[in-house]
């Protein structure tokens, strides 16, 4: 519930991969009362009576329970709860639902609000170029079809289509996949993110308000009294429990727009412009994502006929969850083991019920199949004054990032306009499944920065105003945002450029939705359509365009930064022409995925 009215005009860019705890109390209140909150993982098959008895015996009280996956949120005043829980036969692990006691200065915006900021996405907001002109609608023929995917003649491109190089790269255009398959309203795509602005003119026609849910509660302040998500009373609804059609961060709205903005004569069109968009909010306004909301959102997806979910984040506070790294305390090791197990259970639950799982590969510019160093975890402190510590020699066999490295998840790397792997995108032969356009503002002829080489998608108007992207007359005043109006000029909407694997992943999720739309069968149990996740994954991979490693395989990126300095980095691509560490099984293709 970050107060958009109080947001700084120079707020930093929206985070790509992040996390935060779902608790209605402030860190200060919890510290003062001595109450701690844990996520507890139970042995599979344990009964409700057994789990409650075990938690009570350890000195805790269950406040919410996810029986399908076998996890619960527990509160306790017992300092030794975790050790006592470990002695209970039906409890397999505990993870402290970390109170945000202290947010690093680097993760705060100009007005002091917490913001789990990704430096890669900040690149889209560091220019002082001239603002883009307002774009008017040009009509849309019969493009806003009925979802049968056939006979789409007379389509007219959306007003901002010429700025969507990403859709051109994968064939999601009026002359490409839109002509044959725009997606079905019977196909539901879940966005596990910071929320979705369901009122945005380029999202509202496809937004499913009935199925959308918010699994988080805002955290107003940290233990020092500094803002995290912001004061609840300053929120539009005056509450810490935001409605399920709100996004006060912007990240989730951008993702949802890329997947399914409709063809309606305004702005852009998404990969699958006629699918059903479901907000499964698991992230805080500040950009943090915690374990329990992620587990609950995935479980909900499995129970409610969601066909595809997009996860452009990692579960905080650990970028890598290690089972036995010597730099971690026993309690931290236990926490990371629990995160791995609980997330895998939730992902398995959803996938076994037909949910195709798509995740961003991450923006650390690292080969995830090699030994790494993590200097940023935990990414906030649960005790004031504590900071992240460096963990060297992380073994890829025992340290995993969740959910992108989980079993059954499609991990997506990012490409730029030239189809090169983006400079920031993680990679690794055996880690990357497919590649998709995510933007690279330095993928230019002279290696200088150009924001239009990012990805353009929907931007909540209230956030645009709060962040100073538009003036009092509603006109855009920055070069990383664009305004588009319909033919009458009465309905206008805003769009922003972002880059990151967060932007690549929803392109793949959109193509997965097209596959379900094209080949799915009626779901007699939950309504809509159904296609086993394994089938969707196979079609997504097999229809991707084989893209070989660069020659030489040691590719050097050169970036001439706005501050006058030059940065270089060399990434090594391993693998063959049909499956390698940069592109996996290739760059996704909307047209090939539907057999065109």
The set of catalytic residues is 193, 251, 502
Residue 88: which H helix or E strand, with range? none
Dihedral (CA of 468, 474, 476, 477) sign: negative
Nearest residue to 181 (alpha-carbon basis) of 263, 257, 258: 263
Distances (CA, A) of 122 to 15, 116, 204, 393, 538: 8, 11, 27, 28, 34
What is the distance between the alpha carbons of residues 466 and 491, in angstroms, rounded to a whole number?
20
Are 515 and 593 a contacting pair, CB within 8 Å?
A: yes
What is the distance between the alpha carbons of residues 282 and 290, in angstroms, rounded to a whole number?
8
Encode 44-56: b = buried (16+ Cβ within 10 Å), e = exposed: eebeeebbbebbe
Residue 367: which H helix or E strand, with range? none
List 356's β-bridge partners, or say none. Answer: 308
Distance of CA 281 to the CA centre of its chain: 10
- The contacts of residue 347 (CB under 8 Å, 6+ apart) are 298, 357, 403, 406, 407, 408, 409
- The single-letter DSSP state of residue 248 is S
What is the distance between the alpha carbons of residues 46 and 415, in angstroms, rounded to a whole number?
45
Q: Estimate the crossing angle of helix 501-519 against helix 251-260, to 10 degrees.
A: 40
Torsion of CA 417, 418, 421, 424, to 10 degrees: -50
What is the distance between the alpha carbons of residues 90 and 41, in angstroms, rounded to a whole number?
9
Distance of CA 175 to the CA centre of its chain: 29
Distance of CA 262 to the CA centre of its chain: 20
Nearest residue to 135 (alpha-carbon basis) of 422, 486, 474: 486
- The contacts of residue 95 (CB under 8 Å, 6+ apart) are 38, 39, 41, 291, 334, 335, 336, 338, 339, 342
């Amino acid at each position: 519930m970050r107060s958009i009215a109080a947001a700084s005009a120079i707020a930093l860019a929206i985070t790509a991969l992040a996390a935060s705890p779902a608790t209605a109390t402030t860190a200060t209140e919890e510290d003062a009362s001595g109450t701690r909150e844990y996520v507890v993982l139970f042995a599979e098959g344990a009964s409700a009576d057994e789990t409650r008895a075990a938690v009570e015996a350890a000195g805790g009280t269950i406040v919410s329970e996810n029986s399908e996956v076998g996890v619960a949120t527990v509160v306790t005043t017992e300092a030794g709860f975790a050790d006592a829980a470990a002695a209970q036969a039906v409890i397999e692990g505990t993870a402290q639902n970390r109170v945000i006691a202290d947010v690093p200065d680097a993760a705060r915006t100009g007005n002091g609000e917490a913001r789990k900021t990704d430096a890669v996405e900040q690149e889209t907001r560091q220019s002082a170029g001239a603002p883009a002109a307002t774009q008017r609608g040009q009509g849309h023929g019969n493009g806003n079809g009925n979802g049968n995917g056939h006979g789409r003649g007379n389509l007219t491109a959306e007003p901002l289509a010429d700025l969507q190089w990403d859709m051109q790269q994968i064939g999601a255009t009026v002359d490409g996949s839109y002509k044959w398959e725009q997606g079905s309203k019977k196909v539901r795509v879940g966005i596990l993110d910071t929320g979705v602005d369901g009122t945005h003119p380029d999202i509202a026609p496809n937004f499913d308000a009935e199925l959308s849910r918010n699994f988080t509660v805002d955290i107003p302040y940290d233990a020092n009294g500094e803002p995290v998500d912001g004061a609840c009373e300053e929120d539009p609804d005056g509450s810490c429990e935001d409605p399920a059609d709100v996004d006060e961060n912007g990240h989730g709205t951008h993702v949802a727009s890329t997947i399914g903005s409709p063809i309606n004569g305004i702005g852009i069109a998404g990969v699958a412009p006629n699918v059903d968009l479901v907000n499964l909010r698991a992230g805080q306004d500040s950009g943090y994502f915690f374990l329990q909301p992620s587990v609950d959102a995935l479980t909900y997806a499995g129970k409610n006929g969601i066909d595809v979910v997009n996860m452009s984040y990692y579960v905080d506070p650990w970028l890598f969850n290690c089972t036995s790294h010597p730099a971690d305390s026993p309690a931290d090791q236990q926490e990371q083991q629990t995160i791995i197990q609980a997330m895998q259970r939730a992902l398995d639950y959803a996938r076994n019920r037909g949910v195709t799982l798509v995740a961003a590969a991450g923006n650390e510019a690292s080969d995830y199949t090699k030994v790494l160093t993590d200097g940023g975890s935990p990414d906030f402190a649960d005790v004031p004054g504590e900071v992240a510590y460096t963990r060297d020699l992380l073994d890829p066999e025992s340290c995993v990032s969740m959910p992108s490295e989980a079993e059954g998840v499609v991990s997506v790397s990012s490409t730029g306009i030239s189809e090169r792997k983006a400079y920031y995108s993680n990679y690794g032969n055996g880690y990357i499944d497919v590649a998709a356009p995510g933007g690279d503002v330095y993928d230019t002829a002279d290696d200088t920065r150009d924001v239009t080489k990012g990805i353009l998608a929907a931007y909540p108007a209230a956030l645009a105003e709060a962040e100073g992207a538009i003036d009092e007359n509603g006109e855009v005043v920055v070069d990383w945002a664009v305004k588009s109006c319909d033919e009458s000029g009465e309905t206008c909407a805003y769009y922003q450029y972002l880059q990151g694997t967060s932007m690549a992943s929803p392109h793949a999720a959109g193509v997965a939705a097209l596959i379900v739309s094209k080949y799915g069968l009626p779901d007699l149990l939950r309504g809509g359509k159904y296609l086993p996740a394994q089938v969707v994954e196979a079609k997504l991979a097999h229809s991707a365009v084989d893209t070989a490693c660069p020659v030489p395989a040691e590719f050097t990126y050169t970036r001439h930064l706005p501050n006058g300095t030059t940065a270089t980095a060399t990434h090594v691509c391993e693998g063959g022409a049909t499956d390698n560490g940069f592109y996996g099984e290739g760059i996704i293709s909307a047209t090939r995925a539907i057999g065109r």
